[in-house]
Chains A and B, each alone.
Chain A
């Protein structure tokens, strides 16, 4: 036992191994979180859509009890057998509670099984690759769409730091000093996936869809990059962990209510930052290729856009890529504008002084809550607004957003210089 402890101590005292091991653990957590959120956001999308449209949405896909052969078929009142099996009287409070929860029919999962079953279905579908496509690019394209959002997530902090006896662990996979740049650089790569998918399909509708996607993503990438510059000017750093730490200490970007946030400068800064926020959120919508910016796969004129010719898991990759982009986009907005993992009102420091591990746990939960709230907003917009036309989107991107963001940078500089 001692030998193992010593070996562990030695291992963790070595800086390189400490770094590798903690990163591996964080990597697994982050990857699992993102994938879980992709599935979850599909479910949220459907449930919220159902709620908005006065229909139930997916709430039926529970686990029927008769699947468990042990307890017999649906007609044979499985609940009775279950109760009998555990020796609970049928008139007891537990039994009545189970009936009230409709446990006599199935184990309720609130439809959460639906996305899982959908995934299973797509996985088992027959894969058809048309004979006229460019095979290599056709296969590479879905990977290029799904991959970048996952990689981009590496720099997103999901909680603050923890000091251990071996050293401090920062709760993000890669604590890079070029956070936002990394995200833009990597998520920009997914354009290649869409372009390749459209071109390699060798068919007209996907081709048009691919062209539209490329044009749209590139033009919004510009406005998106420019719109965060006022933020970076204020924070004075590109490290996302320090940005969030600053927000935790001095008020969120859009909620400066504590610390330095109460200064005049921060309140005047709300104007340029508000403009930045609006533009950035719009660009995130455009980047994620969602309504009202989904002309790349706009159903009514391009059938399916760039993924028309895809089937089975390749189609699912596009589908998941879209949702992954949505999750990452939401996470970036939350990190930059809504305080990231910070609980706010000075609660972070207080919690951390009590127990750092508890603080990290609470902060992760806070991050998830904010993320979910923003995903809800995404879905809400999708089911409310009609779709733009392609040329209007391009006009908005190049003629409105670009000018506005550039002017916003000058405005920010003026505010930072004159208002002390």
Chain B
């Protein structure tokens, strides 16, 4: 490792993303330094379509042999203008777009968005609705963490662990299919409730899944966590200190792996998370190995929450009990004029939200997913700003990558478990 930080102080502060020193000026710096003989610098373009970048991230690396001198991430290849779209469709219509953000945990996005709008409206779901939402959140967290750890194993060359993890993810998708009718793009929530209640007989399947998920976590730990090669590759690689993590606005598992115990489910509980008992896994080291471990532990805690939810699942309605803003029973709509009108109004104009501004953040598998809503009344948001965790996580790359080897790029990127769909929006 060579002292790249001292030589390029601009990495550390405000100018990252905008001014990354180009290869020529760096080369000049090297030539002035006679003490160590540097070779010719090469610009290596990683991505936008590259096996290590998990989507369409592009990294402009300047390398000296195998060592990275500077890194310039280029994002936006998956930009779909979601925030602008939100200004042109009503609240319920936008739910389907949230599926496509963090497409590895669509349910979590649906729920976070619905909760944000409900916060604007001042609604609170009945208990059963909340419990179902917690269940779905945790299922999607398990699915996302399994994918994160499995794909990470594959990044490090261990194909088999990846397929073990994918088997469990497949089980989650089977449950999704039963709960909301779709395997991938769930679009489960509506403002004020969910599209449908849990199907009959799913309790046993969910509990069975909990057992098999724990088994797989144990199996993967045995296969990877005590493997000398795996440890050698990850320990001490991509170390993010507490300060760096906080500076770059990292959240979720990546932040907790750096020693900050921050989990929105504990600090400002939503959906009745305060009722459930679970631990927040925290690691001190902040390296890739710690992030991997925290993610594995997260699965265990999610399973713990799901078991509690299933044990205390209350009965009753899943929708907010109001006369306005939510869809009536289909049967009633066929017979009563009042209900028919309501169905028509909800479908076309959605809720009648008050004017105001509200920010709601949920603890998603990737970190803190925030929605800032600016409403001027009516069923359409005036402005919707999303705080996507992957975007903040990736902002640390220019600071973190220099000094590492090209082989570490895959290991470090994989350990962040980012999703480009959410980063670019």
A pairs with B: yes
| Pairwise interchain contact B229-A387, C-beta atoms closer than 8 A | yes
Q: Which B residues lie within 8 Å of A49 (CB)?
A: 159-160
Would A390 and B229 be within 8 Å (CB), given that A54-B163, A383-B159 are in contact? no
Judge whether A389 and B167 touch: CB under 8 Å.
no
Most B-side CB within 10 Å, residue of A54, A205, A208, A385: A385
A54 to B232, CA, bound (A): 28
Output the nearest chain B residue to A387 by Cβ-Cβ distance. B157
A208 to B65, CA, bound (A): 8
Chain A residue with Cβ nearest B66: A390
Instruction: Verify if A77 is at the interface (C-beta below 8 Å from B).
Output: no
Chain A, residue nearest B158 (CB): A386
Q: Which residues of B sit under 8 angstroms from A302, Cβ to Cβ?
A: 406
Do B51 and A299 have beta carbons less than 8 Å apart? yes
A residues engaging B (CB < 8 A)?
A: 49, 52-55, 204-205, 208, 291-292, 294-295, 298-303, 383-392
Task: Give the A-binding residues of B (Cβ under 8 A).
Answer: 42, 44-46, 50-52, 66, 153-160, 163-164, 167, 223-224, 227, 229-230, 232-233, 405-410, 414
Contact in complex: A386, B157 (CB < 8 Å): yes
**B164 engages A53 (CB within 8 Å):** yes
> Which residue from A53, A388, A389, A391 sits with its C-beta under 8 Å from B160?
A53
Q: Is the interface of B mostly helix, strand, loop or mixed?
A: helix
Q: How far is the CB of B161 from chain A (nearest CB, A)?
A: 8
Residues in A whose Cβ lies below 8 Å from that of B160: 49, 52-53, 383-384
Q: Which residue of A lies closest to B44 (CB)?
A: A204
Residue of A53, A303, A386, A392 near B153 (CB, 8 A) is: A386
Contact B229 A388 (CB under 8 A): yes
**Residues of chain A lying within 8 A (CB to CB) of residue B232:** 388-389, 392
A287 to chain B, nearest CB (A): 18
Q: Chain A nearest CB: distance from B312 CB in Å?
A: 34
* Pairwise interchain contact B229-A301, C-beta atoms closer than 8 A: no
- Tell me, in angstroms, the Cα distance from A346 to B155 when the chains sit together: 49
A150 to B418, CA, bound (A): 46
Which of A54, A55, A386 meets B233, CB within 8 Å? Answer: A386
Report if A385-B66 is in contact (Cβ < 8 Å); known contacts: A204-B44, A300-B52. Answer: no
Bound-state Cα–Cα, A53 to B163, Å: 6
Contacts of A389 in B (CB 8 A): 232-233, 405, 407-408
Please determine whether A385 and B44 come into contact, CB atoms closer than 8 angstroms: no
* Known contacts A385-B158, A389-B233: A301-B406 contact under CB 8 Å: yes
What are 27 inter-chain pairs, A to B, with CB distance below 8 A? A52-B160, A54-B163, A54-B167, A204-B42, A291-B157, A298-B407, A300-B52, A300-B157, A300-B410, A300-B414, A301-B52, A301-B407, A303-B50, A385-B157, A386-B156, A386-B157, A386-B158, A386-B229, A387-B158, A388-B229, A388-B232, A389-B233, A389-B405, A390-B405, A391-B407, A392-B232, A392-B233
A292 pairs with B44, CB closer than 8 A? no
Inter-chain CA distance A55–B159, complex, in Å, is: 13
Residues in A with CB closer than 8 Å to B406 are 208, 301-302
Q: Is the CB of B52 within 8 A of A386?
A: no
Give every chain A residue within 8 A of B153 (Cβ-Cβ). Answer: 386
Q: Is the CB of B157 within 8 A of A294?
A: yes
- How far apart are the CA atoms of A294 and B66 in the complex, in Å? 16
A386, B230: Cβ atoms closer than 8 Å: yes
How far, in whole Å, are A54 and B158 apart by their CA atoms in the complex?
15
- Which chain A residues lie closer than 8 Å to B164 at the CB level? 53-54
Closest CB of chain A to B119's CB: distance in Å? 41
Residue in B156, B233, B408 with the greatest tally of chain A CB atoms within 10 Å: B156
Please tell me if the beta carbons of A298 and B42 are within 8 angstroms of each other in the complex.
Answer: no
A386 to B154, CA, bound (A): 8
